[in-house]
């Protein structure tokens, strides 16, 4: 089983749509969770951290379910500029792996007019 698994998509949605991405992780002792965004042929950039209580940043909502080892990202009112690959990222559980990030393969989103 992969350490971090995402549905690779692609997701094709019209502008204004709501879209949700899911991610599961295998190590129950993982400490920190993030969503990164990667535009085509560009470097990954932090979109938002994911907190246990869930958190929102404008049109983006992230949720974490530690019991199910599941992370989600919800994008409301999609914009053309949201088209990108969304990477689910999990931080190491402890010891020498603490602080090291493990990346999912990414979910491709295309928002069309």
Residues 12-31 that bind other proteins (CB under 8 A): 31
Q: What is the DSSP letter of 68?
A: T
Using CB under 8 A as the binding rule, whether residue 69 contacts other proteins is answered as no
d(CA 71, CA 55): 12
Which of the stretches 12-20, 61-69, 73-81, 93-101 binds other proteins when contact is defined by CB under 8 A? 93-101
Shortest approach of other proteins to residue 56 CB, angstroms?
18
Residue spans of beta strands (DSSP E) within the chain:
4-6, 11-14, 19-25, 33-38, 44-50, 55-57, 60-65, 70-75, 84-91, 101-103, 107-112
- Contact indicator for 58, 72 with CB cutoff of 8 Å: no
8 touches other proteins (CB under 8 A): yes
- Considering the complex, state which of residue 70 and residue 98 has its C-beta at the smaller distance from other proteins: 98
Footprint of other proteins on this chain (CB under 8 A)? Answer: 4, 8, 31-32, 34, 41-46, 49, 87, 91-92, 96, 98-106
């Amino acid at each position: 089983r992969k350490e971090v698994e995402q549905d690779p998509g692609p997701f094709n949605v019209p502008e204004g749509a709501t879209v949700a991405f899911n991610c599961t992780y295998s190590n129950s002792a993982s400490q920190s969770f993030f969503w990164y965004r990667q535009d085509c042929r560009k470097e990954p950039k932090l979109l938002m951290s994911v907190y246990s209580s869930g958190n929102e940043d404008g049109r983006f909502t992230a949720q974490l379910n530690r019991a199910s080892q599941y992370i989600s990202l919800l994008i409301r009112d999609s914009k053309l500029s949201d088209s990108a690959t969304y990477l689910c990222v999990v931080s190491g559980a402890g010891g020498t792996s603490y602080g090291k990030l493990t990346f999912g393969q990414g979910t491709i989103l295309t928002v069309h007019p």
